């Protein structure tokens, strides 16, 4: 690609893959999707080595970066939850020759992605529609994503500034809404003690639901992976079909609760590795009914959009949005 005057290197770092791309923060669509590359994290001794390899492979130079990591960011340091990399912001910036480098939690990036999403990047779930906010318009959104775990965040837009809010909302307590779900809670409580929403709404959570339903039916399903349950459901297996239905019902209830807690009346965005694969199930399940079913707030909830993100790399899109927003408010500092 022809290099613009100033490039920012953006990254989305998980426990398995490191994804990189180039962003031009002066462009209307800052993320250069043609520059996206992914590498296994096990191929490099450090994040700096992976980033340097990417830049060399692209024949590109960058003076700044925004790296979103699937783990806790504590000051200058970040640790990947499912990989031994320990990332120092200052050391990584020095190794790459950056004048500024931002380390952010992956759900900060997921939330920031909302600022750049276009209608073609999302799929509407339910009857309430969404359009990107006009410049200067105050908005509050929540973002929720089942993958290996359940990520929850928010994006607050005020006075032209985007404020992403990472949370640990996935660890809020599960609230059953039917006798069947009460029994599932009892079974999972016997195993885990306290049962959070993440115990049901994520890949391993689908396995937990299927195992509980199997126990209720007097069956032993053996050790299954989430994709095996999905395959069984597609083949018409009744327990697998019901497990996905329960998953969607709980997912909808949790998403609706998150809107209530955060005051995210402008919409909830569904993200994470499972969402694109379960898009058809989302559209034809009890997700939206349980999302709206909030007693005296049911009418209000019926007006709140729920949108599944189908953009291929929302983490990178959000890192680019973060870079644009940071450039507007900070100049020339490692932050």
Q: What are the binding residues for ATP?
A: 11-16
Which of 41, 40, 31 minimizes the C-alpha distance to 9? 31
Number of residues assigned to the chain: 335
Contacts of 331 (CB under 8 A, 6+ apart): none
DSSP string, 244-312: HHHHHHHHHHHHHHHHHHHT-TT-EEE-STHHHHTHHHHHTSSHHHHHH--GGGHHHHTTS-EEEE--S
Enumerate the known binding-site residues. 11-16
Output the DSSP codes for 177-232.
-SHHHHHHHHHHHHHHSS-BGGGTSSHHHHHHHHHHHHHHHT----S--HHHHHHH
Tokens found for residue 277? 């694969």
Q: In what order do the strands lie in the sheet with 86-88?
A: 73-74, 77-79, 86-88
Output DSSP code: residue 176: -
Is there a contact between 250 and 182 (Cβ–Cβ < 8 Å)? no
């Amino acid at each position: 690609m022809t290099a613009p005057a100033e490039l920012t290197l953006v990254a989305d770092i998980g426990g398995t893959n490191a994804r990189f791309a180039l962003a031009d923060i002066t462009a209307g669509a800052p993320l250069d999707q043609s520059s996206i590359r992914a590498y296994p994290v096990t191929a490099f001794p450090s994040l700096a080595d992976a980033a340097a390899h990417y830049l060399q492979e692209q024949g590109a130079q960058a003076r700044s970066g925004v790296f979103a990591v699937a783990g806790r960011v504590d000051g200058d340091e970040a640790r990947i939850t499912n990989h031994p990399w320990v990332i120092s912001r200052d050391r990584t910036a020095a190794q790459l020759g950056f004048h500024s480098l931002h380390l952010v939690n992956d759900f900060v990036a997921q939330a920031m992605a909302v600022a750049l999403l276009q209608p073609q990047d999302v799929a509407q779930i339910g009857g309430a529609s969404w359009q990107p906010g006009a410049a200067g318009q105050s908005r509050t959104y929540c973002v929720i994503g089942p993958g290996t775990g359940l990520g929850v965040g928010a994006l607050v837009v005020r006075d032209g500034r985007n404020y992403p809010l990472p949370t640990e909302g996935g660890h809020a307590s599960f609230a059953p809404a039917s006798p069947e779900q009460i029994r599932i809670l009892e079974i999972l409580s016997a195993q885990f003690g306290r049962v959070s929403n993440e115990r049901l709404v994520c890949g391993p959570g689908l396995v937990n639901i299927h195992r509980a339903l199997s126990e209720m039916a007097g069956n032993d399903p053996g050790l299954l992976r989430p994709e095996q349950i999905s395959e069984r459901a597609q083949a018409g297996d009744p327990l697998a079909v019901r497990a996905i239905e329960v998953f969607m019902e709980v997912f909808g209830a949790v998403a609706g609760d998150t809107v209530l807690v955060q005051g995210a009346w402008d919409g909830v965005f569904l993200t994470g590795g499972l969402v694109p694969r379960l898009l058809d199930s989302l559209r034809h399940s009890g997700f939206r009914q349980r999302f709206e079913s909030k007693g005296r707030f049911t009418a209000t909830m019926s007006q709140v959009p729920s949108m599944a993100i189908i953009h291929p790399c929302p983490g990178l899109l959000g890192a680019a949005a973060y870079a644009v927003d940071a450039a507007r408010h900070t100049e020339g500092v490692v932050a």
